[in-house]
């Protein structure tokens, strides 16, 4: 019997709840490290180019590393939001932000397919190896476009397949919760962003994580 979207989401939630409790990361196939704060596959902040006073949103914020770093970069006149669906991760992130003395970070519970923020309220959206975990990626991209202000931008790290690799072959290279089976191809990502209303779309491979699959930096601007 095929696994439903709801079942896949629950598998992801359980996996990262255990990670928050120190029971492991998402494995070598995702390229994650075992750090307490970050369970991702890259560094979206390396390309996000945050500025003083901006509002930034981290999708799938995990233990809060990128949110804390973002809050420091946008300064006291800016705001950093972290969105996660896992209570255990949210608790960890709030503890980490408090320990770091960060006052301009807020962690929200919710789904990346249904972002709990108003339209046109965010300057920058970042994400670290999370969008590939969604079972409705077009909805995620539409939601990102909705919450971004005109001219707002994204800086995303994700796992992306080469165009010739079929979805069935991607699933053979790794698990869904391991950030592999649900990956989009380069063209699928680019087309999805353009359909959601983005311009200046760029998907650049950085290093391989499996045969014909790569960690990638994804950038775009809301038209």
pLDDT at position 73, please? 95
pLDDT at position 38, please? 44
- CA distance to 5, 16, 111, 209, per residue, from 27 (Å): 22, 11, 23, 11
pLDDT at position 167, please? 86
Average pLDDT over the chain reads 84
Instruction: Judge whether residue 1 has pLDDT over 50.
Output: no
Instruction: Judge whether residue 127 has pLDDT over 90.
Output: yes
What is the rounded distance in angstroms from the CA atom of residue 118 to the CA atom of residue 134?
21
Give the structural domain span for 11. Answer: 5-222
Span 16-65, pLDDT tens digits:
556 655 534 333 333 343 333 444 566 777 777 899 999 999 999 988 99
How many independent structural domains does the chain possess? 1
Residue 186 and residue 161 in contact, taking contact as beta carbons nearer than 8 Å: yes
Domain CATH for 73 = 3.40.50.150
Q: Which residues pair with 160 in a beta bridge?
A: 184, 214
What three-state secondary structure class fits 44?
A: coil
The answer to whether the predicted template modeling score (pTM) of the entire model surpasses 0.75 is yes
């Amino acid at each position: 019997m095929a696994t439903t979207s709801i079942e896949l989401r629950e598998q992801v939630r359980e996996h990262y709840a255990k990670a928050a409790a120190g029971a492991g990361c998402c494995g070598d196939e995702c390229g994650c490290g075992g750090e307490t704060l970050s369970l991702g596959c890259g560094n979206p902040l390396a390309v996000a180019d945050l500025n003083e006073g901006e509002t930034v949103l981290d999708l799938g914020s995990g233990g809060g590393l990128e949110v804390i770093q973002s809050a420091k970069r946008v300064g006291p006149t800016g705001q950093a939001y972290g969105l996660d669906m896992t209570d255990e991760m949210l608790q960890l992130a709030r503890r980490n932000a408090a320990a770091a003395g960060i006052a301009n970070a807020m962690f929200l519970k919710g789904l990346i397919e249904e972002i709990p923020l108003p339209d046109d309220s965010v300057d920058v959206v970042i994400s670290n190896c999370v969008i590939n975990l969604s079972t409705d990626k077009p909805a995620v991209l539409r939601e990102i476009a909705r919450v971004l202000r005109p001219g707002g931008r994204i800086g995303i790290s994700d796992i992306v397949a080469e165009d010739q690799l079929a979805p069935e072959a991607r699933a053979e290279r790794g698990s869904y919760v391991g950030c592999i089976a649900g990956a989009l191809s380069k063209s699928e990502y680019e087309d999805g962003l353009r359909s959601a209303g983005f311009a200046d779309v760029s998907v650049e491979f950085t290093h391989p994580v499996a045969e014909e699959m790569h960690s990638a930096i994804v950038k775009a601007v809301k038209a």
